[in-house]
């Protein structure tokens, strides 16, 4: 199964939409368009960007455009009255951006460390599983070998040999019992003869 592509938008006027156009980016694009249907002005009711739609479209990362301009003919809520004020605002914005980048880098590093730890643990578990599988295969091979050796044994011949051994053991036992009986019965007489001598 192919992994879905993640999209990066490198120029997105989120702040412009929210502040200059007074759009609630937590609403869907459809909702914003419906709300602006009766609003006069060019581009009203034609918005294309909102956070729910970005999420649904799998936009992973977007670069929010920072608009800082001073034209000499300032438009209210859009232009800075002077270049100095523009530079000061831009400097503060860049400082905050640097802080955000450092914070994000720290989060990424922490996440990577946790991922590495999980991967290392997973590798250890995988090695243990491989060792267990190898031992199981060895045990199965040994069992098959023992089964093959047992199957190769001439059972009838072994049974006959076992019967012979049992017969020989029974004969030897009877012979031993007979000798003991002879010794018991002849023992006192030999003792008397020995004393008379």
Specify whether the CB–CB gap between 54 and 7 falls below 8 A. Answer: no
* Least confident range of 5-19, 73-87, 91-105: 73-87
Specify whether the CB–CB gap between 12 and 64 falls below 8 A. Answer: yes
Strands 7-12 and 59-64: parallel
Query: What are the helix and strand counts (H, E) for the chain?
Result: 5, 2
Whether the full predicted model's pTM is greater than 0.85, yes or no, is: no
CA distance 68 to 92: 12
pLDDT digits (tens, 9 = 90+) for 46-73: 888 888 998 888 888 888 776 666 677 7
Q: Which two tokens stand for residue 175?
A: 């012979």
What residue segments make up the domains of the chain, in order of their start? 7-111
pLDDT digits (tens, 9 = 90+) for 91-147: 887 888 888 888 888 888 888 888 888 888 888 888 888 888 888 888 888 888 877
CB half-sphere exposure, 109, CA atoms < 13 A: 6
CA distance 170 to 149: 31
Residues with Cβ within 8 Å of residue 49, at least 6 apart in sequence: 12, 13, 14, 17, 25, 29
């Amino acid at each position: 199964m192919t992994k879905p592509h993640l999209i990066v938008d490198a120029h997105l006027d989120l702040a412009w939409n929210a502040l200059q156009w007074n759009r609630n980016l937590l609403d869907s694009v459809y909702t914003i368009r419906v709300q602006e249907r009766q609003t006069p002005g060019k581009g009203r009711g034609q918005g294309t960007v909102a956070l729910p739609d970005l999420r649904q479209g799998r936009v992973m990362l977007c670069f929010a455009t920072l608009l800082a301009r001073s034209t000499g003919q300032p438009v209210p809520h859009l232009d800075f009255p002077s270049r100095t004020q523009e530079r000061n605002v831009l400097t503060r914005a860049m400082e905050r951006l640097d802080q955000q980048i450092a914070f994000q880098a720290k989060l990424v590093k922490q996440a990577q460390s946790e991922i590495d730890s999980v991967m290392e643990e997973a590798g250890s578990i995988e090695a243990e599983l491989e060792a267990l599988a190898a031992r199981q295969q060895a045990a199965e091979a040994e069992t098959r070998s023992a089964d093959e050796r047992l199957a190769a044994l001439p059972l009838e011949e072994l049974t006959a040999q076992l019967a012979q051994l049992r017969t020989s053991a029974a004969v030897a036992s009877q012979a031993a019992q007979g000798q003991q009986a002879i010794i018991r019965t002849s023992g006192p007489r030999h003792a008397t003869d020995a004393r008379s001598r």
